[in-house]
Amino acid sequence: MSKPSLRLRRVPTQGWGSTPGIAPLLPLLLLLLPLQAGANCPCQDPALCQPIRKHPNFEVFVFDVGGKTWKSYDWSQITTVALFGKYDSELMCYAHAKGARVVLKGDVSLKDIIDPNFRASWIAQQVNLAKTQYMDGINIDIEQEVNYSTPEYDALTALVQETADAFHHEIEGSQVTFDVAWSPKCIDRRCYNYTGIADACDFLFVMSYDEQSQVWSECMAAANAPCNQTLTAYDDYIKMGINPKKLVMGLPWYGYDYTCLTLSEDHVCTIAKVPFRGAPCSDAAGRQVPYKVIMKQVNSSISGILWDENQKSPYYNYKDSAGRFHQVWYDNPKSISLKATYTQTRGLRGIGMWNANCLDYSEDAIAKQQTEEMWKVLKPKL
């Protein structure tokens, strides 16, 4: 069962199969592709179809879920774009012109990958897709449940190892990364071989968000990514023996809107019990909202922007048209800069976000400034 609040993350990757008229020609096309690789380059400058080889000192790893807002991203910072929406050759050409990698989304059923033959054919498919689309690697996003000492546990580590070997061999300079939960302590029953996976790939993208997916104590609204809990979890990854240079910090550019069952004078918002993977309550009781929507709403809140000093997170309360109270927890430049500073002091590989499309890229002057500030706080300050 996939967690409802992860719905934002579930975007199917587009492959060849979805193009109707091309199906009968497919075998022929695949035969011709290796010969005509240069000729098929969609970029004005065919050199832009070459893979990116340069390895940056600091990664800024960006998830894109589709549309054309990428034209307004801060390309002076971006080093990798993971395409979780539809493939966009214009984006690929543009990213390459800026020296940024463009990588596939990799998602596969864990039951299937226990079979080494299945793994091999899945990997061959991904490499082929990356090559035909002039892409620079793959971001493996498997958020499924795994237990220790199971066939899936070892198969997953093998999958990452074999994928990295194949990509590195077939596409020069390519990048293979893996998404992990905010903490290595079997969050959401994802008990993976974290050290084995980190060794096998270029780096882990740590999803430092959805940190209320399993709430074991009181069911109340809380920060998506409380500062201390977030940073302590990096210490946990490092204590396991994972090199900080194998860790990219993933920040949320979205928050959670909770409907309060009760809202107290001192802003305690109790929420409905929605169990998730063994825990009695979860952020699945809330709704994910992008930063741009939050920024449109915050001035009409009943509380104004509040700041929780323990969690180091902003939040606010509002009343909906049916008269129900809501509490919204999110991240802003202030909360993000505290985490971004840690990537520097701890010497992490880089920073990134889910997802770049969450900001307002319109021409509106206030929105423009808020969007600029969100990009700006990612920058190393040293």
Q: Quick one: tokens of 363?
A: 């021409």
Query: CA 40 to CA 326: how far, in whole Å?
Result: 52
The alpha carbon of 260 is separated from its chain's Cα centroid by a whole number of angstroms, namely 28
Cβ proximity to ligand NAG: between 157 and 213 the closer is 157
155 with 119: CB under 8 angstroms? yes
Closer by beta carbon to ligand NAG, 267 or else 346: 346
* Structure-token pair, residue 206: 């740590």
Rounded least distance, CB 90 to ligand NAG, Å: 31
Residue tagged active-site, from 59, 90, 143, 265: 143
Instruction: Determine the size of the site formed for ligand NAG (CB under 6 A).
Output: 11
Restricted to residues 230-249, the positions that interact with ligand NAG (CB under 6 A) are 231-232
Binding to ligand NAG in span 295-354, by CB under 6 A? 299
Amino acid code (one letter) for 376: K
> For residues 157-186, which are near ligand NAG according to CB under 6 A?
157
CB nearer to ligand NAG: pick between 91 and 191 = 191
Per-residue x/- marks for ligand NAG, 259-298, CB under 6 A? ----------------------------------------
The CA distance from 276 to 213, in Å, is 7
Q: Quick one: 32 or 366, whose CB is closer to ligand NAG? A: 366
Tokens of 97: 């012109």
Is there binding between residue 150 and ligand NAG (CB under 6 A)? yes
Sole window of 3-11, 41-49, 164-172, 225-233 interacting with ligand NAG (rule: CB under 6 A):
225-233
> Minimum CB separation from ligand NAG for residue 113, in Å?
13
Instruction: Give the nearer residue to ligand NAG in terms of CB position, either 150 or 362.
Output: 150
Tell me the one-letter amino acid at 11: V
109 binds ligand NAG (CB under 6 A): no
| Interface stretch with ligand NAG, choices 63-71, 164-172, 224-232, 311-319 (CB under 6 A) | 224-232
Q: Does 147 bind ligand NAG (CB under 6 A)?
A: yes
Residue number of the CB closest to ligand NAG reads 196
d(CA 160, CA 201): 7
Among residues 82, 18, 43, the alpha carbon closest in space to that of 357 is found at 82
The one among 50, 128, 193, 243 contacting ligand NAG by CB under 6 A: 193
Nearest to residue 87, comparing CAs of 143, 17, 149?
A: 17
Shortest distance, position 294 Cβ to ligand NAG, whole Å: 11
| Rounded Cα gap, residues 160 and 119, in angstroms | 10
Of 228, 262, 310, 362, the one binding ligand NAG (CB under 6 A) is 228
Q: Which of 193, 243, 199 is nearest to 348 (CA)?
A: 243
What is the CA 334 to chain-centroid distance, rounded? 21
Nearest distance from residue 255's CB to ligand NAG, in Å?
16
Q: Is 372 one of the annotated active-site residues of the chain?
A: no
Of 292, 366, 362, 279, the C-alpha closest to 330 is 292
Taking CB under 6 A as the binding criterion, the range among 142-150, 236-244, 284-292, 332-340 that sits at the site for ligand NAG is 142-150
CB of 66 to ligand NAG, least distance (A): 25
Question: Could you tell me whether strands 175-181 and 137-140 are parallel, antiparallel, or unpaired per DSSP bridges?
Answer: parallel
Instruction: Give the span between the Cα atoms of 33 and 378, in whole angstroms.
Output: 39
**SS3 (DSSP) at 103:** strand
Distance CA 177, CA 137 (A): 8
What are the beta bridge partners of residue 247? Answer: 204
CA–CA separation, 11 vs 124, rounded Å? 22
Q: Which of residues 358-377 bind ligand NAG (CB under 6 A)?
A: 366
Tell me the closest approach of the beta carbon of residue 153 to ligand NAG, in angstroms.
7
Residues forming contacts to ligand NAG in the complex (CB under 6 A) are: 145, 147, 150, 157, 193, 196, 228, 231-232, 299, 366
Active site residues: 143
